Amino acid sequence: MNINSTAPNCSYEFFTVHTDSLSGDTWTDYTTLNQSSFIPFLFRPLENIVQVSVQTANIPLAGESNVCYLRVNELGSQFNETGGQATSNAITSVPVTKDRIRGSLAKFNKASSGRTIYNQNDYSTQTQFITPINKIDRLTIELLNETGSNSYVDSNVFVSFRFTCLKENLCPTSPATKSKKKVNR
């Protein structure tokens, strides 16, 4: 049995949250099977979020788009940006078609089979929040194509996230730092 010998990190709490389009409210009509926008509610709200990353994603993309942007409205970040075509060698404003893509957590390339599968070791999707996010109890997930429109998915979507929350854990103190209790005799 291989057990990780590193001590737990007592400054943060780490949560893995598995979401899917089956268990959340969808914004779209189920009869079309397009579940590109859905809202999974968290059984336990998360507080003081300082970092998030996508661990896995299984997205059945259909249609013409070659990419899929994963946007979670509650986790938007100014540090996740997209580029645009400049006019007169300067970008004066964000193109309307790109505005919904800004702040997306990840961009996935469509697999030739149509079903896009992402694993955490493929590339980093880590996003840090300088000011912690106070509290979230849901994730408003949108899958967008390269124009910022909803992607067309023809089956259920599965996404797992890893959250880092700034919170002191109740870790046991080491013997060297334990305070000695005074014993009355």
89-146 pLDDT, tens digit each? 665 566 666 778 888 888 888 887 777 888 877 888 889 999 999 999 999 999 998 8
At 160, the pLDDT band (50, 70, 90 cuts) reads very high
- Residue 28 has a pLDDT of 46
Report the pLDDT averaged over residues 24-29.
50
Distance from C-alpha of 169 to C-alpha of 175, rounded to nearest angstrom: 17
Which range among 42-51, 76-85, 113-122 has the greatest average pLDDT? Answer: 42-51
- Give me the domains of the chain, ranges plus CATH numbers: 12-83+95-166 (2.60.120)
pLDDT of residue 30: 41
6-23 mean pLDDT: 83
Q: Running DSSP on this structure, what letter comes out for residue 98?
A: H
Q: Would you state the pLDDT for residue 74?
A: 93
What H or E segment, with its residue span, contains residue 104? none
Report, as an integer, the average pLDDT of 166-179: 59
Non-local (6+) Cβ contacts of 96 within 8 A are: 148
**Tokens 């060297």 found at:** 176
Residue 23 has pLDDT above 70, yes or no: no
Its pTM stands at 0.77
Q: When comparing pLDDT for 165 and 169, which is higher?
A: 165
Distance CA 163, CA 149 (A): 27
Nearest C-alpha neighbor of 99 from the set 137, 149, 142, 62: 149
Q: What is the mean pLDDT of residues 4-18?
A: 79
